[in-house]
Structure 1
Amino acid sequence: MSASRTAVQDTGTEDAGVLESRLTRLSRAEFAREVWSRTALLTRGASDFSDLFSAAAVDELVSRRGLRTPFLRVAKDGSTLPEAAFTAPAGAGAAIADQLDDTALWRAFADGATLVLQALHRTWEPVAGLVSALGTELGHPVQANAYVTPPDNRGFDAHYDVHDVFVLQIEGTKRWTVHEPVLPDPLRDQPWTGHRAAVAEAAAHGTPHLDTVLRPGDVLYLPRGWLHSAEARGEVSVHLTLGVHAWTRHALAEQLTRAALAALGEDPAARRALPLGAESLGAELDLVRTRLLAAVAEADPEPLFHRARRSQARPAPLGPLAQLTALRGLGPRSPVRLRPALEPRWEGTRLVTRVGWLDFAEADLAPVARLLDGRIRTAGELGLERAERLLRAGVLVPADR
């Protein structure tokens, strides 16, 4: 498939996901088949992102929100500045030493430094909504950072990430140079710094896979491992990077191994001590290998795997005061719905979510299961006692009709 795709007219399809409607103009199935984890993809004019982020949002976050590290990094010419260079206490009643110092940040920015606002899915609501929707659609955890680069400057040298990225150009323009991987599909513990020489050689002498300028509304997708560097043109560049932390077969193998080792803990032969001295391990290794292979063949890693997946993202926000008001005013006609981004999953009669688990009687399973489609229901449909229990647990939230 071509590395560049020109936007088409909006089809008006109501069930189009974030991937299609805002990022790539490809359906989830098309993206999975043709692009995901395979190749770079440039989509011109993918969407108008002015509702998500802006230069004004940068100023507000830096100067008025009391952000602390690590919600911001500062980089210049490939190096990251020490936190002490842009943080300070904020005066009486807020004397926490690592709050952002807007004056120091201004001076660094004026001197050519790039501001990196990290974890925007925790600090800027419009970005949080997009990240939550994309994470649900992809089935992999997603984070968001913003990169703010002064004119004709760059923040980082050529490198690769250990997660996939969607780059959303918000304001200004930025030239991107992209090369194919020197290490395809790197794991999270295989950063580019371990292949620094190969990365530098490829960036300096290799033929770019893509050399292009991103303009507002453009989106660039890069699988993990793809080399890239970027430089702002003649004006301030603001772009969002959505990082997709892909679950891998290696991660599944880790959970399978953990499940097998847990099973071996119940095997008396596996718990037995090695012989004194243990100079020769041949016979012991044969026995352990046999037992381990048998345990791997029988182990079920899914509960551990899904528990790990749930832990990598947060559910939708919950307001304690609104929750208490809903609980105190609960009646048969009270509208409620499943809290978004909970990753609910049945394990027998146990409902497991990102906020914990609840056991149910057989008679409760059908009405509770109806909630999992995310539609608005009344507390009366569910049963007032069940609704109250789920509201208290933070699984249900009040809904507007």
Structure 2
Amino acid sequence: MSPRSDHRDPGADSGAGVLESRLLQIARNEFADDYWARRALLTRGADDFSDLFSAAAVDELISRRGLRAPFLRVAKEGRTLPDTSFTAGAGVGASIDDQLDDTALWRHFADGATLVLQALHRTWQPIADFSSRLGTELGHPVQANAYITPPQNRGFDDHYDVHDVFVLQISGTKRWIIHKPVHPDPLRDQPWTERSAEVAEAARGEAMIDTVLRPGDALYLPRGWLHAAQAQGEVSIHLTLGIHNWTRYAVAEQLAQAALARLRDDPAMRATLPLGTTGPDDQLDAVRTALTAALAEADPAPAFRRTRRGQARPAPLGPLAQLAALDALDEATPIRLREALDASLDGNRLNTRVGWLDLPDTDLERVRRLLDGRSVVAGDLGIDLARRLLRSGVALPDDR
């Protein structure tokens, strides 16, 4: 493996402190030591979240953005409604039959259903920027959903999530009832429905938290913590920032895959079992020995980084603006690395979320300046290198 030269996300500087400045009223290290992945935390008046989302944003997304069914769910009294009950064809010229039907959604909402706008980190830019910054700071990818619940209604019964969440109350009020886990730290393939009886029994016990969230409040829940929420006397809108936790189990998966990849190159491991074999018993000692040796030598880091990069997307790139920047490129053009690339230099290779580039030694120091988040004029960077970085989508003109 090539030596690791540098690893930097230029979005990290602009995102530094978002956890403390907007979600907490305690120091980051106190949160890390006492709450992260351990216990719930309620923060009153954490911040004004109106810049992230609003009732007007809900109406625009539903009625004007042409969203399709994967970007919205509808739930009522613990039951998720079928997509066909709130979607319709997109009209002439569009071969789409699952676009949101705002009239149908209005009728469901008026009848007490909760609207769940999903993946807002892909469809609403203020939330996309915030989620990217928070994910950079936490080291775990972040997704965002919005829950819009009519007065005195709730969309989901008591349940737990398989990822940590921050709940941000945007408008209205909502009562949250929180219980300790019945299955601490569930993995992504261990949903609450596998333990529905335990969840229902635990929900009948004394709550750890029973509170009403008001606009500006933030609630942190580690994965596995049971919760149910009900809107109070007005429409409630809250954001749920889902943190898709990397776990030791995930690292073990990457390590095992790396070890198995090594064993593929071992002729003894590819050998056929004896004729008439009825099981692996007489082969287990040899296989265990080889697997143990492969695990000791395997490096899960490359697969870990590839998987991590695939769990998020880089900052937006406009193809027309990028082409215009290439056409107008001269020595005075300022260039910056595209944000949220998860860029790293491994030897002479620049790895990013949008692919990799092999660089000559003469370009490495100039690329490191970009990795530090600095803007570099094309003349100092080198016109050929600047053009290559722009064309590959790794760099953008710095017009901020």
Change in CA separation of 1:320 and 1:70 when aligned onto 2, cut-off 3 Å:
same
Q: Which moved more, 1:337-346 or 1:92-101?
A: 92-101
RMSD: 1.2
Structure 1 residue runs of 4 or more that deviate by more than 4 Å after TM superposition: none
| Distance in structure 1 (CA, Å) of the matches to 2:28 and 2:398 | 28
Q: Secondary structure at the match of 1:53?
A: coil
Mapping of residues 342-353 of structure 1, within 5 Å: 342-353=341-352
| Distance in structure 1 (CA, Å) of the matches to 2:79 and 2:180 | 23
In structure 2, give the amino acid aligned to 1:323. Answer: Q
Partner of residue 311, structure 1: 310
| Distance in structure 2 (CA, Å) of the matches to 1:90 and 1:288 | 57
| Distance in structure 1 (CA, Å) of the matches to 2:192 and 2:91 | 40
Partner of residue 3, structure 2: none
In structure 1, give the amino acid aligned to 2:138. Answer: L
| Distance in structure 1 (CA, Å) of the matches to 2:337 and 2:27 | 26
* Cα displacement (A) at 1:280: 4.8
| Structure 1: gaps spanning 5 or more residues | 1-13
Partner of residue 41, structure 2: 41
Partner of residue 54, structure 2: 54
Change in CA separation of 1:91 and 1:274 when aligned onto 2, cut-off 3 Å:
same
Q: Which moved more, 1:48-57 or 1:27-36?
A: 27-36
Higher relative CO (Cα under 8 Å, sequence separation at least 6) belongs to 2
Contact 2:142 2:242 in 1 (8 A): yes
Q: Structure 1 residue 113 and structure 2 residue 113: aligned?
A: yes
CA offsets 1:164-211 (integer angstroms, 9 cap, x no match): 00000000000000001000000000000000000000001x211100
Contact 1:19 1:25 in 2 (8 A): no
* Cα displacement (A) at 1:29: 2.8
* Cα displacement (A) at 1:323: 0.7
| Distance in structure 1 (CA, Å) of the matches to 2:16 and 2:326 | 34
| Distance in structure 1 (CA, Å) of the matches to 2:62 and 2:75 | 15
Mapping of residues 202-281 of structure 1, within 5 Å: 202-204=202-204, 206-281=205-280
| Distance in structure 2 (CA, Å) of the matches to 1:216 and 1:93 | 42
* Cα displacement (A) at 1:95: 4.8
| Distance in structure 2 (CA, Å) of the matches to 1:281 and 1:43 | 56
CA offsets 1:227-255 (integer angstroms, 9 cap, x no match): 00000000000000000000100000000
In structure 2, give the amino acid aligned to 1:115. Answer: L
In structure 2, give the amino acid aligned to 1:143. Answer: Q
In structure 2, give the amino acid aligned to 1:328. Answer: D
User: How many residue pairs are counted as aligned between the two chains?
Assistant: 387
In structure 2, give the amino acid aligned to 1:195. Answer: R
| Distance in structure 1 (CA, Å) of the matches to 2:234 and 2:357 | 53
Partner of residue 376, structure 2: 377
Partner of residue 26, structure 1: 26
Change in CA separation of 1:151 and 1:285 when aligned onto 2, cut-off 3 Å:
same
Q: Secondary structure at the match of 2:223?
A: coil
Partner of residue 4, structure 2: none
| Distance in structure 1 (CA, Å) of the matches to 2:192 and 2:15 | 38
Partner of residue 89, structure 1: 89
Q: Structure 1 residue 99 and structure 2 residue 99: aligned?
A: yes
| Structure 2: gaps spanning 5 or more residues | 1-13
* Cα displacement (A) at 1:348: 2.0
Contact 1:19 1:27 in 2 (8 A): no
Q: Secondary structure at the match of 1:66?
A: coil
* Cα displacement (A) at 1:146: 0.3
Partner of residue 391, structure 2: 392
Partner of residue 298, structure 2: 299
Q: Secondary structure at the match of 1:230?
A: strand
| Distance in structure 2 (CA, Å) of the matches to 1:272 and 1:245 | 40
* TM-score, normalising length: structure 1: 0.95
Q: Secondary structure at the match of 2:84?
A: helix
